[in-house]
């Protein structure tokens, strides 16, 4: 009886040992699976952390890009806004001008201005004609003086250098002096004085023409 009981106890102990070994194997397997799951979870957590960092970096880039683009857009829109404001002001000014012109006779106000402009044009045309006549008169005077100088250079040069009164007084004194007329009328004396008269006549003639031109310009 006792032997049977011991044998049965041994059997049960062996069965418990085998079951314990099986349970141990199962526990080890479960622990291995749990370790694998933990490692996988750690890897996933690391991936999640990396994704979070990437997302934060991309968010910063997007924010920077958005802010820079917004700033550039705002900067580009400022001239457009200023142009729109200026156009609005011009439209308002045009509308005010139209409103102010509605009750006025514009043609009646423009007619005096047109008449005045026509008178100014006529005055300018008359001034141009007068200037042309003065220029023509100056040319004729210069031609006459040149021809006079070529014909009698000594007398013209003497008259220009001495002036009207000096020339008259010199002629009077020449008439009073005996023999003066003979010196002037002597052909030999005239031929001797001709080269000197021709040399000194040209500067005097040019000064006389300059004075005449200045006088005509003042007129």
- Helix (H) and strand (E) counts for the chain? 5, 0
Q: What's residue 45's pLDDT?
A: 93
What contacts 80, CB < 8 A, 6 or more positions away? none
Average pLDDT taken over every residue of the chain: 72
Three-state secondary structure readout of 33-45 = HHHHHHHHHHHHH
**Domain regions of the chain by residue span:** 1-80, 117-218
What mean pLDDT is predicted for residues 123-147?
A: 78
DSSP code for 177: S
CB 172 within 8 A of CB 123: no
Q: What's residue 180's pLDDT?
A: 44
What mean pLDDT is predicted for residues 112-135?
A: 80
Start-to-end Cα distance in the chain: 170
Query: Which one of 27-36, 118-127, 185-194 scores highest in mean pLDDT?
Result: 27-36
Query: Which one of 47-51, 83-87, 104-108, 142-146 scores highest in mean pLDDT?
Result: 47-51
Q: Which residue has the tokens 């102010």?
A: 100
The model's pTM is 0.29
Q: What's residue 198's pLDDT?
A: 47
Q: What's residue 207's pLDDT?
A: 62
Q: What's residue 51's pLDDT?
A: 92
88 has pLDDT over 70: yes
DSSP code for 104: S
132 has pLDDT over 50: yes
Spatial distance between the Cα atoms of 201 and 41, rounded to a whole number of angstroms: 125
Q: What is the pLDDT of residues 6-15, one digit of tens each?
A: 777 777 777 8
Spatial distance between the Cα atoms of 183 and 180, rounded to a whole number of angstroms: 5
């Amino acid at each position: 009886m006792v032997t049977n009981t011991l044998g049965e106890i041994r059997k049960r102990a062996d069965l418990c040992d085998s079951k314990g070994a099986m349970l141990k194997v199962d526990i080890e397997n479960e622990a291995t699976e749990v370790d694998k799951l933990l490692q996988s979870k750690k890897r996933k957590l690391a991936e999640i952390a990396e994704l979070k960092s990437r997302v934060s970096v991309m968010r910063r880039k997007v924010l920077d890009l958005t802010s820079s683009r917004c700033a550039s857009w705002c900067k580009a829109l400022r001239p457009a806004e200023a142009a729109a404001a200026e156009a609005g002001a011009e439209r308002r000014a045009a509308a005010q001008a139209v409103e102010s012109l509605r009750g006025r006779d514009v043609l009646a106000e423009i007619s005096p201005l047109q008449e005045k402009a026509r008178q100014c044009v006529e005055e300018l045309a008359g001034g141009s004609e007068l200037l042309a006549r003065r220029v023509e008169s100056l040319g004729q005077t210069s031609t006459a003086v040149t021809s006079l100088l070529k014909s009698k250079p000594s007398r013209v040069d003497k008259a220009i250098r001495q002036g009207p009164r000096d020339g008259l007084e010199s002629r009077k004194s020449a008439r009073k002096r005996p023999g003066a007329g003979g010196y002037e009328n002597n052909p030999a004396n005239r031929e001797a004085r001709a080269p000197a008269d021709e040399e000194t006549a040209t500067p005097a003639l040019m000064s006389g023409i300059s004075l005449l031109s200045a006088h005509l310009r003042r007129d």
